[in-house]
Amino acid sequence: MDAGAGPSPEITVDDFLAVDMRVGRVVAVEDFPEARVPAWKLRIDFGPGLGVRRSSARITNYARDELEGSLVVAVVNLPPRQIGPVRSEVLVLGAVEADGTVHILRPDGDATPGARIA
């Protein structure tokens, strides 16, 4: 997505509510040397209702120790996507700059893993 692009077409409130965004805690960050574009393999805990899900994330501007244990916001109801040998089950959200740098969306404070973003 282009950081300088104009707004996307309007959607309905129902369209927005169909996107299930949840708070998760990154429990593991692994190297992903097979990725065509530098990325991490993440395991993210979304609490008892959703459990631990995997994601491939192009957020290599964050060091492993900055990510492990941190809270993130992710879309949890997209179909899984095969990215090389990794089955990515959730999409970690972030603001993407024109140069490709990603700033992860994170809740303030100590939000509960699994809490829905509304």
In this predicted model, what pLDDT tens digit does every residue of 11-61 receive, in sequence order?
999 999 999 999 999 999 999 988 888 889 999 999 999 999 999 998 889
* 80 Cβ neighbours under 8 A, 6+ residues apart: 87, 88, 89
Beta strand ranges found along 1-118 (DSSP E): 21-31, 40-45, 52-57, 71-75, 81-83, 86-88, 91-92, 94-96, 102-104
Higher-confidence position of 110 and 52: 52
CATH number, domain at 30? 2.40.50.140
Per the domain annotation, does 114 fall within a domain?
no
Domain count, the chain: 1
Amino acid 69: pLDDT: 97
pLDDT category at 10 given cuts 50, 70, 90 is: very high
Amino acid 38: pLDDT: 84
Record the tokens describing residue 102, joined without a space.
Answer: 């990603």
Domain containing residue 22? 13-104
Kind and range of the H or E run holding 112: none
Asked whether the predicted pLDDT for residue 112 surpasses 70, the reply is: yes
Per the domain annotation, does 93 fall within a domain?
yes
Higher-confidence position of 7 and 92: 92
Model pLDDT for residues 70-107, shown as the tens digit of each residue: 999 999 999 999 988 999 999 999 999 998 889 999 99
Asked whether the predicted pLDDT for residue 9 surpasses 90, the reply is: yes
Per the domain annotation, does 83 fall within a domain?
yes
